[in-house]
Amino acid sequence: MIVAVASGKGGTGKTTVAASLAAKWPGPLVAVDLDVEEPNLHLFLKPKLSGIETVTLEVPDVDEEKCTYCRKCAELCQFKAISVMGRAILTFPEMCHGCGGCMAVCPEGAIGVTTRELGVVERGVARGFIPCLTGRLRIGEAMSPPLMRHVRAAMVREAAPIEADIVIDAPPGVSCPAMSAVTDSDVIVLVTEPTPFGFYDFSLAVEAFTPLGKPMAVVVNRAGLGDGRVYEYCRERGLPIVTEIPYRRDIAEHYSRGLVLAELDGAMGERFAALCRALKQRAEEGVHA
Protein backbone atom coordinates (compact mmCIF):
# COMPACT_ATOMS: atom_id res chain seq x y z
CA MET A 1 0.00 0.00 0.00
CA ILE A 2 1.02 3.61 -0.55
CA VAL A 3 0.53 6.22 2.16
CA ALA A 4 0.82 9.88 1.12
CA VAL A 5 1.39 12.43 3.87
CA ALA A 6 0.07 15.82 2.71
CA SER A 7 -1.12 19.03 4.33
CA GLY A 8 -2.17 22.11 2.37
CA LYS A 9 -0.28 24.46 4.69
CA GLY A 10 3.46 24.01 4.97
CA GLY A 11 5.16 23.42 8.29
CA THR A 12 2.29 21.53 9.92
CA GLY A 13 4.36 18.40 10.49
CA LYS A 14 4.23 16.31 7.29
CA THR A 15 7.86 15.30 7.55
CA THR A 16 7.54 14.59 11.28
CA VAL A 17 4.66 12.21 10.57
CA ALA A 18 6.29 10.60 7.52
CA ALA A 19 9.55 9.96 9.40
CA SER A 20 7.66 8.52 12.37
CA LEU A 21 5.61 6.23 10.14
CA ALA A 22 8.83 5.01 8.51
CA ALA A 23 10.36 4.33 11.93
CA LYS A 24 7.36 2.33 13.16
CA TRP A 25 6.09 0.69 9.97
CA PRO A 26 5.46 -3.02 10.39
CA GLY A 27 7.06 -4.79 7.42
CA PRO A 28 9.12 -3.66 4.45
CA LEU A 29 8.84 0.01 3.48
CA VAL A 30 10.27 2.50 1.00
CA ALA A 31 10.38 6.12 2.23
CA VAL A 32 9.98 8.69 -0.55
CA ASP A 33 10.41 12.46 -0.44
CA LEU A 34 8.33 14.04 -3.21
CA ASP A 35 8.75 17.57 -1.87
CA VAL A 36 11.47 18.06 -4.45
CA GLU A 37 11.73 21.82 -3.94
CA GLU A 38 12.57 21.51 -0.25
CA PRO A 39 13.12 17.82 0.62
CA ASN A 40 13.54 17.32 4.38
CA LEU A 41 12.73 13.67 5.12
CA HIS A 42 16.40 12.64 4.81
CA LEU A 43 17.29 15.09 7.60
CA PHE A 44 15.35 12.88 10.02
CA LEU A 45 15.80 9.38 8.55
CA LYS A 46 19.47 10.12 7.77
CA PRO A 47 19.86 7.49 5.02
CA LYS A 48 23.29 6.34 3.98
CA LEU A 49 23.60 7.56 0.39
CA SER A 50 24.10 4.77 -2.14
CA GLY A 51 23.48 6.51 -5.45
CA ILE A 52 22.62 9.77 -7.21
CA GLU A 53 20.91 9.87 -10.57
CA THR A 54 20.71 13.07 -12.59
CA VAL A 55 17.30 13.62 -14.15
CA THR A 56 16.95 15.60 -17.34
CA LEU A 57 14.22 16.83 -19.65
CA GLU A 58 14.38 16.60 -23.44
CA VAL A 59 14.40 20.07 -24.95
CA PRO A 60 14.83 21.17 -28.59
CA ASP A 61 18.15 21.59 -30.33
CA VAL A 62 17.65 23.28 -33.71
CA ASP A 63 19.86 22.54 -36.70
CA GLU A 64 19.81 25.92 -38.46
CA GLU A 65 21.24 24.32 -41.61
CA LYS A 66 17.98 22.43 -42.09
CA CYS A 67 15.54 25.03 -40.64
CA THR A 68 13.42 26.86 -43.23
CA TYR A 69 11.90 29.23 -40.63
CA CYS A 70 8.41 27.97 -41.43
CA ARG A 71 7.32 28.73 -37.83
CA LYS A 72 5.33 25.52 -37.35
CA CYS A 73 7.24 24.77 -34.13
CA ALA A 74 6.72 28.26 -32.71
CA GLU A 75 3.03 28.16 -33.58
CA LEU A 76 2.56 24.84 -31.78
CA CYS A 77 4.62 25.64 -28.68
CA GLN A 78 2.33 26.73 -25.84
CA PHE A 79 5.15 27.74 -23.55
CA LYS A 80 7.04 30.36 -25.61
CA ALA A 81 10.07 28.07 -25.58
CA ILE A 82 10.84 28.39 -29.29
CA SER A 83 10.37 31.43 -31.48
CA VAL A 84 11.13 32.44 -35.05
CA MET A 85 11.91 36.04 -35.91
CA GLY A 86 12.54 36.56 -39.60
CA ARG A 87 15.48 34.34 -40.46
CA ALA A 88 16.43 33.52 -36.90
CA ILE A 89 15.18 30.81 -34.59
CA LEU A 90 15.62 31.02 -30.86
CA THR A 91 14.98 28.46 -28.14
CA PHE A 92 14.37 29.20 -24.46
CA PRO A 93 15.14 25.83 -22.89
CA GLU A 94 14.16 26.93 -19.36
CA MET A 95 10.57 27.57 -20.57
CA CYS A 96 10.25 24.14 -22.24
CA HIS A 97 7.94 21.51 -20.75
CA GLY A 98 9.49 18.75 -22.86
CA CYS A 99 6.31 17.85 -24.75
CA GLY A 100 8.26 16.99 -27.90
CA GLY A 101 5.76 18.85 -30.11
CA CYS A 102 8.32 20.96 -31.96
CA MET A 103 10.40 17.89 -32.82
CA ALA A 104 7.35 16.03 -34.10
CA VAL A 105 5.89 18.92 -36.10
CA CYS A 106 9.05 20.08 -37.89
CA PRO A 107 8.68 19.11 -41.58
CA GLU A 108 12.45 19.31 -42.15
CA GLY A 109 13.50 17.12 -39.23
CA ALA A 110 15.58 20.10 -38.14
CA ILE A 111 14.84 19.81 -34.43
CA GLY A 112 16.89 17.35 -32.45
CA VAL A 113 17.19 16.74 -28.76
CA THR A 114 19.33 18.24 -26.07
CA THR A 115 18.65 18.16 -22.35
CA ARG A 116 18.05 20.42 -19.39
CA GLU A 117 18.95 19.19 -15.91
CA LEU A 118 15.92 19.10 -13.62
CA GLY A 119 17.63 17.82 -10.52
CA VAL A 120 18.63 14.52 -8.98
CA VAL A 121 17.14 11.47 -7.34
CA GLU A 122 19.16 10.36 -4.34
CA ARG A 123 18.89 6.77 -3.24
CA GLY A 124 19.94 5.63 0.20
CA VAL A 125 19.20 3.21 3.00
CA ALA A 126 18.13 4.35 6.46
CA ARG A 127 18.69 2.31 9.60
CA GLY A 128 20.16 -0.48 7.54
CA PHE A 129 16.87 -1.61 6.01
CA ILE A 130 14.64 1.29 4.85
CA PRO A 131 15.30 2.27 1.23
CA CYS A 132 14.87 6.03 0.83
CA LEU A 133 14.37 8.07 -2.34
CA THR A 134 14.74 11.82 -2.39
CA GLY A 135 13.94 14.08 -5.34
CA ARG A 136 16.00 17.25 -5.25
CA LEU A 137 15.16 20.04 -7.70
CA ARG A 138 18.11 21.93 -9.17
CA ILE A 139 18.27 25.48 -7.79
CA GLY A 140 16.94 27.79 -10.49
CA GLU A 141 14.78 25.06 -12.07
CA ALA A 142 11.14 26.17 -12.16
CA MET A 143 9.29 22.94 -12.89
CA SER A 144 8.92 20.26 -10.26
CA PRO A 145 6.31 17.93 -11.89
CA PRO A 146 8.69 16.25 -14.39
CA LEU A 147 11.22 15.42 -11.65
CA MET A 148 8.39 14.19 -9.45
CA ARG A 149 7.20 11.88 -12.25
CA HIS A 150 10.67 10.41 -12.34
CA VAL A 151 10.78 9.83 -8.57
CA ARG A 152 7.34 8.22 -8.65
CA ALA A 153 8.49 5.77 -11.32
CA ALA A 154 11.65 5.03 -9.31
CA MET A 155 9.68 4.35 -6.13
CA VAL A 156 7.53 1.72 -7.85
CA ARG A 157 10.68 0.01 -9.19
CA GLU A 158 12.19 0.11 -5.71
CA ALA A 159 9.18 -1.25 -3.83
CA ALA A 160 7.92 -3.96 -6.20
CA PRO A 161 10.70 -6.58 -5.87
CA ILE A 162 10.66 -6.50 -2.06
CA GLU A 163 6.86 -6.14 -1.86
CA ALA A 164 7.31 -3.04 0.25
CA ASP A 165 4.75 -0.48 1.25
CA ILE A 166 5.54 3.16 0.45
CA VAL A 167 5.35 6.29 2.58
CA ILE A 168 5.41 9.55 0.61
CA ASP A 169 6.29 12.94 2.09
CA ALA A 170 4.29 15.25 -0.22
CA PRO A 171 4.92 18.92 -1.04
CA PRO A 172 2.73 21.57 0.64
CA GLY A 173 -0.18 23.23 -1.11
CA VAL A 174 -3.02 21.86 -3.18
CA SER A 175 -1.90 22.74 -6.69
CA CYS A 176 -0.53 20.39 -9.31
CA PRO A 177 2.62 19.11 -7.47
CA ALA A 178 0.70 18.22 -4.29
CA MET A 179 -2.04 16.52 -6.31
CA SER A 180 0.43 14.46 -8.32
CA ALA A 181 2.13 13.33 -5.08
CA VAL A 182 -1.08 11.82 -3.73
CA THR A 183 -2.60 10.36 -6.92
CA ASP A 184 -0.82 7.00 -6.54
CA SER A 185 -1.71 6.56 -2.88
CA ASP A 186 -4.12 4.14 -1.19
CA VAL A 187 -4.64 6.43 1.77
CA ILE A 188 -3.95 10.12 2.30
CA VAL A 189 -2.82 11.37 5.71
CA LEU A 190 -3.66 15.05 6.13
CA VAL A 191 -1.52 16.76 8.75
CA THR A 192 -2.95 19.99 10.10
CA GLU A 193 -2.79 22.26 13.12
CA PRO A 194 -5.77 23.80 14.92
CA THR A 195 -4.94 27.39 13.94
CA PRO A 196 -6.83 29.63 11.48
CA PHE A 197 -4.10 29.20 8.83
CA GLY A 198 -3.91 25.47 9.45
CA PHE A 199 -7.66 25.13 9.22
CA TYR A 200 -8.10 27.21 6.08
CA ASP A 201 -5.39 25.37 4.15
CA PHE A 202 -6.67 22.03 5.47
CA SER A 203 -10.14 22.81 4.10
CA LEU A 204 -8.54 23.61 0.71
CA ALA A 205 -6.72 20.26 0.82
CA VAL A 206 -9.90 18.34 1.68
CA GLU A 207 -11.69 20.03 -1.22
CA ALA A 208 -8.81 19.25 -3.57
CA PHE A 209 -8.35 15.60 -2.57
CA THR A 210 -11.97 14.54 -2.06
CA PRO A 211 -12.67 14.10 -5.81
CA LEU A 212 -9.85 11.52 -5.94
CA GLY A 213 -12.10 9.20 -3.92
CA LYS A 214 -9.31 7.96 -1.67
CA PRO A 215 -9.69 7.29 2.04
CA MET A 216 -8.31 10.14 4.14
CA ALA A 217 -7.17 10.27 7.74
CA VAL A 218 -6.31 13.36 9.76
CA VAL A 219 -3.43 14.00 12.14
CA VAL A 220 -3.83 17.12 14.29
CA ASN A 221 -0.42 18.46 15.23
CA ARG A 222 0.16 21.08 17.96
CA ALA A 223 -3.15 20.08 19.56
CA GLY A 224 -4.10 22.51 22.31
CA LEU A 225 -2.93 25.52 20.35
CA GLY A 226 -5.31 27.85 18.51
CA ASP A 227 -9.04 27.21 18.15
CA GLY A 228 -11.35 24.26 17.64
CA ARG A 229 -12.63 24.76 14.11
CA VAL A 230 -10.69 21.88 12.57
CA TYR A 231 -12.37 19.43 14.98
CA GLU A 232 -15.84 20.68 14.13
CA TYR A 233 -15.09 20.51 10.42
CA CYS A 234 -13.78 16.91 10.65
CA ARG A 235 -16.91 15.87 12.56
CA GLU A 236 -19.18 17.45 9.95
CA ARG A 237 -17.28 15.86 7.07
CA GLY A 238 -16.90 12.45 8.73
CA LEU A 239 -13.10 12.69 8.50
CA PRO A 240 -11.47 10.52 11.18
CA ILE A 241 -8.81 12.19 13.36
CA VAL A 242 -6.48 9.25 13.83
CA THR A 243 -3.78 10.90 15.95
CA GLU A 244 -3.22 14.10 17.84
CA ILE A 245 0.25 15.38 18.65
CA PRO A 246 0.13 17.75 21.61
CA TYR A 247 1.58 21.26 21.47
CA ARG A 248 4.59 20.93 23.77
CA ARG A 249 7.91 22.67 23.85
CA ASP A 250 9.84 19.42 24.39
CA ILE A 251 8.35 18.06 21.14
CA ALA A 252 9.39 21.20 19.23
CA GLU A 253 12.91 20.93 20.69
CA HIS A 254 13.13 17.22 19.85
CA TYR A 255 12.23 18.09 16.25
CA SER A 256 14.76 20.94 16.19
CA ARG A 257 17.49 18.39 16.95
CA GLY A 258 16.60 16.35 13.87
CA LEU A 259 15.16 13.44 15.87
CA VAL A 260 12.21 11.26 14.92
CA LEU A 261 9.10 12.08 16.97
CA ALA A 262 8.02 8.42 17.28
CA GLU A 263 11.23 7.88 19.22
CA LEU A 264 10.66 10.64 21.80
CA ASP A 265 9.44 8.11 24.37
CA GLY A 266 7.50 4.85 24.69
CA ALA A 267 4.10 6.52 24.65
CA MET A 268 4.86 8.43 21.45
CA GLY A 269 6.21 5.23 19.89
CA GLU A 270 2.98 3.41 20.68
CA ARG A 271 0.97 6.35 19.30
CA PHE A 272 2.68 6.02 15.90
CA ALA A 273 2.58 2.22 15.92
CA ALA A 274 -1.19 2.61 16.39
CA LEU A 275 -1.27 5.17 13.57
CA CYS A 276 0.40 2.66 11.23
CA ARG A 277 -2.30 0.10 12.09
CA ALA A 278 -5.09 2.66 11.68
CA LEU A 279 -3.80 3.64 8.23
CA LYS A 280 -3.61 0.02 7.08
CA GLN A 281 -7.19 -0.37 8.17
CA ARG A 282 -8.28 2.87 6.44
CA ALA A 283 -6.64 1.72 3.21
CA GLU A 284 -8.43 -1.63 3.39
CA GLU A 285 -11.76 0.08 4.02
CA GLY A 286 -11.02 2.13 0.92
CA VAL A 287 -10.55 -1.03 -1.14
CA HIS A 288 -13.81 -2.53 0.08
CA ALA A 289 -15.80 0.72 -0.07
Partner 1 sequence: MREIVVISGKGGTGKTSITAAFAHLAENKVICDLDVDAPDLHLLLDPHVVRREDFHSGHEAVIDPERCSGCGTCLGMCRFGAVLEDDGRYRIDPLRCEGCKVCVAFCPEGAIDFPSRHCGTRSVSDTRFGPMVHAQLFPGQENSGRLVSELKKEARKLAGEMGRDLILCDGSPGIGCPVISSLSQANLAVIVTEPTPSGLHDLERVASLCEHFRIKVAVIVNKHDLNPDHTAAIEELCRARGYVLAGRLPHDTVVTEAMVARKAVTELEDEHFGRRVRDAWTVIQGLLNAN
Stretch of residues binding partner 1 (CB under 8 A), selected from 24-32, 167-175, 231-239, 280-288: 167-175
Q: Which of 141, 158, 184, 263 binds partner 1 (CB under 8 A)?
A: 141
HEC readout, the chain: CEEEEECECCCCCHHHHHHHHHHHCCCCEEEEECCCCCCCHHHHHCCEEEEEEEEEEEEEEECCCCCCCCCHHHHHCCCCCEEECCCCEEECHHHCCCCCHHHHHCCCCCEEEEEEEEEEEEEEEECCCEEEEEEEECCCCCCCHHHHHHHHHHHHHHHHHHCCEEEEECCCECCHHHHHHHCCCCEEEEEECCCHHHHHHHHHHHHHHHHHCCCEEEEEEEECECCCHHHHHHHHHCCCEEEEEECCHHHHHHHHCCCCHHHCCHHHHHHHHHHHHHHHHHHHHHHHC
Stretch of residues binding partner 1 (CB under 8 A), selected from 63-71, 85-93, 99-107, 238-246: 99-107
Q: Which of 86, 129, 213, 256 binds partner 1 (CB under 8 A)?
A: 256
Stretch of residues binding partner 1 (CB under 8 A), selected from 142-150, 159-167, 231-239, 273-281: 142-150
d(CA 138, CA 32) in angstroms, rounded, equals 18
Q: Output the smallest distance, CB 254 to partner 1, in A.
A: 10
Stretch of residues binding partner 1 (CB under 8 A), selected from 162-170, 176-184, 262-270, 272-280: 176-184
Q: Output the smallest distance, CB 75 to partner 1, in A.
A: 9
Q: Output the smallest distance, CB 269 to partner 1, in A.
A: 21
Q: Output the smallest distance, CB 192 to partner 1, in A.
A: 11
**What are the residues facing 189 on neighbouring strands?**
5, 217
Q: Write the CB contacts of 1 (distance below 8 Å, at least 6 apart in sequence).
A: 165, 166, 186, 187, 280, 283
Q: Which of 52, 88, 156, 225 binds partner 1 (CB under 8 A)?
A: 225
Stretch of residues binding partner 1 (CB under 8 A), selected from 83-91, 125-133, 200-208, 276-284: 200-208
Q: Which of 1, 67, 70, 99 binds partner 1 (CB under 8 A)?
A: 99
d(CA 231, CA 240) in angstroms, rounded, equals 10
Stretch of residues binding partner 1 (CB under 8 A), selected from 84-92, 236-244, 255-263, 272-280: 255-263
Q: Which of 92, 231, 233, 255 binds partner 1 (CB under 8 A)?
A: 255
In the bound state with partner 1, the residue whose beta carbon lies nearer, of 26 and 258, is: 258
Q: Which of 124, 131, 173, 215 binds partner 1 (CB under 8 A)?
A: 173
Q: Does 105 bind partner 1 (CB under 8 A)?
A: yes
In the bound state with partner 1, the residue whose beta carbon lies nearer, of 64 and 207, is: 207
Chain-centroid distance, C-alpha 171: 5
Q: Which residues bind partner 1 (CB under 8 A)?
A: 8-12, 15, 37-38, 40, 43-44, 76, 78-79, 97-101, 104-105, 137, 139-145, 149, 171-180, 183, 195-197, 200-201, 204-205, 207-208, 225-227, 249, 252-253, 255-258
